[in-house]
Amino acid sequence: MASQSCYQQDHNEQNGLKHSQVAILMVPFPLQGHLNQILHLSCLLTSYEISLHFAGSTTHNHQAKLRIQGWNSRNLSTIHFHDFQLPPFTCFSPDPSAPIKFPGHLQPLFHACTHLRGPMSQLLQDLSTKFRRVIVIHDTLMASVVQDVKHISNAESFALQSVSAFTVFLYIWDSMKEKPFEMDPKMIPCIPSSQGCFTPEFANFIAKEYKILDFESGRLFNTCRLLEGKYMELLEKLPINTNKKLFAIGPVHPIELTGKNNGCSKHKCLEWLDKQEKNSVLYVSFGTTTSMSDDQIKELAAGLESSRQKFIWVLRDADKDDVFTENKARSPELPKGYEKRVKNRGMVVRDWAPQLEILGHTSTGGFMSHCGWNSSIESITMGVPMAAWPMHSDQPRNAVLITQVLKIGIAVRNWAQREELVKGETVENVVKRLMASSEGEEMRKRAEEIGSIVRGAVADGGQNCCQNGQEGQKSAQVAVVMVPLLAQGHLNQFLHLSHHLVASYGIPVHYAGSAIHNRQAKLRFHGWEPETSNRIEFHDLQLPPYSSPSPNPNAPTRFPAHLQPLFNASMQLRKPLFQVFQDLSTKFRRIVIIHDSTIGSIVQDVKLIPNAEAYMLVPTSVFHTFTGIWEILSEKPFQLDPDIPTNIPSSEGCFTPEISDFVYKQMEFLDFQSGRLLNTCRVIEARHLELLERLPIYGNMKTFAIGPLNPVEIRRTSEKQRHECLEWLDKQEEDSVIYVSFGSTTAMTDEQITELAKGLEQSGQKFIWVLRKADKGDVFTGDEEGRPQLPKGYEERVKDWGIVVRDWAPQLEILGHPSTGGFMSHCGWNSCIESISMGVPVAAWPMHSDQPRNATLLTEVLRIGLLIKDCVHLAELVTSDTIEDAVRSLMTSQEGEEMKKKAAKLGGAVRASVADGGNSRLEMDSFIAHITR
């Protein structure tokens, strides 16, 4: 109990404010606007007392720190900067005469940065050994550099979009040949062409990075829903974002600048601004990637001068790849005597200017900008209207957002005329409209209103304050909701997992199913302390009426088709389940839905709940899952080793067409889960688990092998509660009894029951035979017909060495009893893994579903069983002679003795894997750490 209480203490600390066990690694793209956003976010996160790491090239880390503004020096001092060396690359100066204004001279730098993958991967590995959890926040254009995060079990990544939600949505929408939904035309104004926005080289670079970008757990946007809510909603509706969490966490830059100049002296332009009247100054700046031609600079100068409006103009050439090298490029020239002529109303700044402080100054009343997203959202936040003059990249569409959607700016020129010179007269007219007209005054009022709303969004209690993680006023706990398929083997696995989470980790568990099947699950459950069950909250949902026919033992396919009406009816649980999710989401910091892989459609609404995430529990062996996927791949992604079995049983006869269609339809919905749980362990299925993780559809998803879920140490129940078959077993010799059971979904014909009875009798071996009909859709409805019949006088004849159980039997306790030496089984995965964990060899008699492949795993891969009937002869009668031979081979032959030894050894290893420090326990601990992060 001491170790459990210690773990629960850690769990509670993890759910609270103990962040020291989490590290965040920030990975920016080496352009000033991108560096700036990620460093702003880093400074913002320092207030949460999380270990912050900022990784980039030495040059660009230095550049980012030198140019950051608005934060106290202690914010930067708590960030760990990791300086990497770039390989040598060619350096070019910007070309102001290039037909495309995108800074193509930086392309060699971008390619050089892709070589940071190796050192970045090493840094991730190092951090993962020092922290319980590592979160990577990376620029979308650095996907190739951070892609190895998917190989680190305690790490996950979030991509930061460096542009507006409006622009991201439009680029994706434009690229879609088939639109997934109809759009209100008012939502999409006249959108500029993307022609001329990028060089072909950079467009290819973007495409390659986005192709790799399929491993992130979510995306962060430097915007807020009060500003771009409708476009965030449209992004969330797109199929590519179905399983992604999208967080609007902006603006990430500081919004209150008073006293945040880091102790440095005031920039001269701010002193000049102090002397000007309110809203009287136009700020002119085109960012760090724009190079204007000499002719355009002269026209802009002439327009500003003739407008007679006050201005601050930041006139610098575009950044080179290394801003600290001696710059031999031109210094932009102004007309002769210009600065002297305008000195009473204008100021030209030729070095770095404190843009945030300029925009936040009361004297600033307008901003002529290139409409980079950093500049745009800074201007919006400070309530300053804009004269939009986009140059390249996302800027033309940001300009549309500002001028046509938000209506807080005017366009300097149409994007279609981007290659034409903007005349001084045009500049003059725009400046006067923005700064000295009633139209401009209305824009200023609207900009101030929007700015106030945006600033409110990041204030304490504001919408984005909550998006940034300060929903801590809710309960600090995490709750888990279990949603099983309504069939006994599935109900059982989920209830075992529920008990694990409650007993070992103290996590609140809610078990949601139909009232009938919750009752069934609880009634048949065994192996755990009763008080553990009392700590699970069951949600009894009502199914619509459905037929509950009896099983048909004469059906050509052994799959329990009589349960199909139940499965169809369970699809109506979507709405009540969503209500459960919504109710719990208001009471817990996070809710985690663990659902059966075959019921994706009824839990799909989890993606609509911001503080919820889903994990799929796969109820079958990894061997079955891998081989099922492998056989349908037309192009194999890799070669299998020669010793991997390839002679796999056909799936023909395993399912009815109706259940196959049902499963395939459910699989179509499984694009929202955050990971997969497997009821197996690496001791049993390491090789096939590795193969599964190599498959493209599995490789980027968190996978946790946390089985066996059943208890492996069976506590003796009280004599009053003990089943009579256990008392009979107590009187038998060690390993002398074969346990015979075919699960809850198998219906045998009378003829087959007779042959099985004869075979067991002829073998002369001791046995416990559970002889019951297959479950109906409602096991509590009366059904007297079709009770399995034995040959006349059979039970009397075998009473000295055999016992027939007609009701529910405690399988785990039977398998764990020292007298049990073999198991004749249908090879359902629950029965298989229970038998494996108890060290009992199996006589494999598969009937349907995954059972034939599970039988192959037991007999050919693990070699702890023998096959009674192969899948080719599934429909044939198994004679008593065959059964007699199989029982004797398993129980009394040298071959059987070797199987028992191998099974006992494997069982010991499996039991060790779930003990403290064992492989499965560590994976379960990792999963718990992940969901309580």
Q: What is the pLDDT of residues 414-427, one digit of tens each?
A: 888 988 999 999 99
Order of strands across the sheet that contains 51-57: 79-84, 51-57, 22-27, 133-139, 155-161, 218-221, 245-248
Statement: residue 663 has pLDDT above 80: yes
> Which letter, b or e, does each residue of 290-301 get, where b requires 16 or more Cβ atoms within 10 Å of its Cβ?
bbbeeebbbbbb
pLDDT at 243: 66
- Would residue 274 show up in a list of annotated catalytic residues for this protein? no
pLDDT at 532: 77
Please state, in angstroms and rounded to a whole number, the distance separating the CA atoms of residues 851 and 836.
15
pLDDT at 411: 95
DSSP string, 481-534: EEE--SSHHHHHHHHHHHHHHHHHH---EEEEEEHHHHHHHHHH--SS-HHHHH
Coil, strand, or helix at residue 280?
coil
User: Residue 333: what are its φ and ψ, rounded to 5°?
Assistant: -100, 140
Please state, in angstroms and rounded to a whole number, the distance separating the CA atoms of residues 570 and 34.
48
Statement: residue 436 has pLDDT above 70: yes
pLDDT at 16: 37
Give me the percent of the chain exceeding a pLDDT of 90. 55
- Of the candidates 906, 925, 903, 907, the one whose C-alpha atom is nearest the C-alpha of residue 916 is 925
pLDDT at 330: 54
pLDDT at 464: 58
pLDDT at 719: 59
Statement: residue 6 has pLDDT above 50: no
Least confident of 24-28, 142-146, 663-667: 663-667
Listed in sequence order, the residues at least 6 apart from 36 whose beta carbon sits closer than 8 Å to its beta carbon are 64, 67, 68, 253, 374
Statement: residue 103 has pLDDT above 70: yes
Name 425's bridge partners. none
Statement: residue 466 has pLDDT above 50: no
pLDDT at 329: 52
At residue 140 the predicted structure's pLDDT band, cuts being 50, 70 and 90, is very high
Over residues 388-399, the mean pLDDT reads 94
Statement: residue 471 has pLDDT above 70: no
The one-letter amino acid code at 237 reads K
- Of the candidates 209, 214, 239, 215, the one whose C-alpha atom is nearest the C-alpha of residue 140 is 209
Name 678's bridge partners. 618, 705
User: Residue 787: what are its φ and ψ, rounded to 5°?
Assistant: -65, 130
Please state, in angstroms and rounded to a whole number, the distance separating the CA atoms of residues 143 and 84.
17
Please state, in angstroms and rounded to a whole number, the distance separating the CA atoms of residues 690 and 224.
41
At residue 779 the predicted structure's pLDDT band, cuts being 50, 70 and 90, is confident
Name 465's bridge partners. none
pLDDT at 918: 87
Q: Please give the span between the terminal C-alpha atoms of the chain, in angstroms, as a whole number.
A: 24
pLDDT at 2: 34
- Of the candidates 172, 166, 161, 165, the one whose C-alpha atom is nearest the C-alpha of residue 189 is 166
User: Residue 640: what are its φ and ψ, rounded to 5°?
Assistant: -90, 145
Please state, in angstroms and rounded to a whole number, the distance separating the CA atoms of residues 441 and 446.
9
3-state secondary structure 302-363: HHHHHHCCEEEEECCCCCCCCCCCCCCCCCCCCCCCHHHHCCCCEEEECCCCCHHHHHCCCC
Over residues 259-269, the mean pLDDT reads 65
Segment 213-241, tens digit of pLDDT? 888 888 999 999 889 988 998 998 888 88
Please state, in angstroms and rounded to a whole number, the distance separating the CA atoms of residues 658 and 446.
59
Distances (CA, A) of 750 to 4, 256, 788, 881, 907: 51, 82, 7, 17, 35
Over residues 795-815, the mean pLDDT reads 92
Q: What architecture (CATH level 2) is domain 478-711?
A: 3-Layer(aba) Sandwich (3.40)
At residue 882 the predicted structure's pLDDT band, cuts being 50, 70 and 90, is very high
The one-letter amino acid code at 488 reads Q
Segment 322-357, tens digit of pLDDT? 777 755 555 788 999 999 999 999 999 998 889 999
Please state, in angstroms and rounded to a whole number, the distance separating the CA atoms of residues 334 and 352.
18
- Residue corresponding to tokens 């601004």: 273
CATH of 19-248, one of 3.30.465.10, 3.40.50.300, 3.40.50.2000, 3.30.930.10: 3.40.50.2000
Enclosing H/E stretch for 37: helix 32-45
Task: State the chain's mean pLDDT as an integer.
Answer: 87
Residue limits of CATH 3.40.50.2000 in the chain = 19-248, 268-467, 478-711, 724-919
Q: Of 34, 82, 562, 688, which residue is the catalytic one?
A: 34
Statement: residue 412 has pLDDT above 90: yes
Cβ pair 284, 314 in contact under 8 A: yes
Q: Of 10, 105, 138, 139, which residue is the catalytic one?
A: 139
Over residues 655-679, the mean pLDDT reads 86
pLDDT at 319: 80
At residue 262 the predicted structure's pLDDT band, cuts being 50, 70 and 90, is very low
Q: Which tokens belong to 17?
A: 């404010």
pLDDT at 653: 82
| Angle of helix 424-436 versus helix 438-458 axis, rounded to 10 | 70
Please state, in angstroms and rounded to a whole number, the distance separating the CA atoms of residues 885 and 869.
12
Over residues 693-706, the mean pLDDT reads 79
At residue 8 the predicted structure's pLDDT band, cuts being 50, 70 and 90, is very low
pTM comes to: 0.58
Over residues 697-712, the mean pLDDT reads 82
Statement: residue 864 has pLDDT above 50: yes
Over residues 476-488, the mean pLDDT reads 88
More confidently predicted of 822 and 460: 822
- Would residue 60 show up in a list of annotated catalytic residues for this protein? no
Statement: residue 14 has pLDDT above 50: no
At residue 514 the predicted structure's pLDDT band, cuts being 50, 70 and 90, is very high
- The DSSP 8-state label assigned to residue 193 in this structure reads P
At residue 786 the predicted structure's pLDDT band, cuts being 50, 70 and 90, is low
The correct answer on CATH 3.40.50.180 for the domain covering 724-919 is no
Statement: residue 398 has pLDDT above 90: yes
Listed in sequence order, the residues at least 6 apart from 405 whose beta carbon sits closer than 8 Å to its beta carbon are 166, 189
The one-letter amino acid code at 827 reads C
Over residues 870-882, the mean pLDDT reads 83
At residue 69 the predicted structure's pLDDT band, cuts being 50, 70 and 90, is confident
Least confident of 62-71, 668-677, 703-712, 775-784: 775-784
More confidently predicted of 250 and 888: 888
Over residues 607-633, the mean pLDDT reads 91
Segment 557-577, tens digit of pLDDT? 888 888 899 999 999 999 999
At residue 314 the predicted structure's pLDDT band, cuts being 50, 70 and 90, is very high
Please state, in angstroms and rounded to a whole number, the distance separating the CA atoms of residues 527 and 650.
35
Please state, in angstroms and rounded to a whole number, the distance separating the CA atoms of residues 457 and 842.
63
More confidently predicted of 565 and 12: 565
Over residues 701-706, the mean pLDDT reads 85
Q: Which class is 268-467 in CATH? A: alpha beta
Name 842's bridge partners. 823, 865
pLDDT at 718: 55
- Of the candidates 922, 919, 901, 923, the one whose C-alpha atom is nearest the C-alpha of residue 911 is 919
Least confident of 393-397, 510-514, 926-930: 926-930
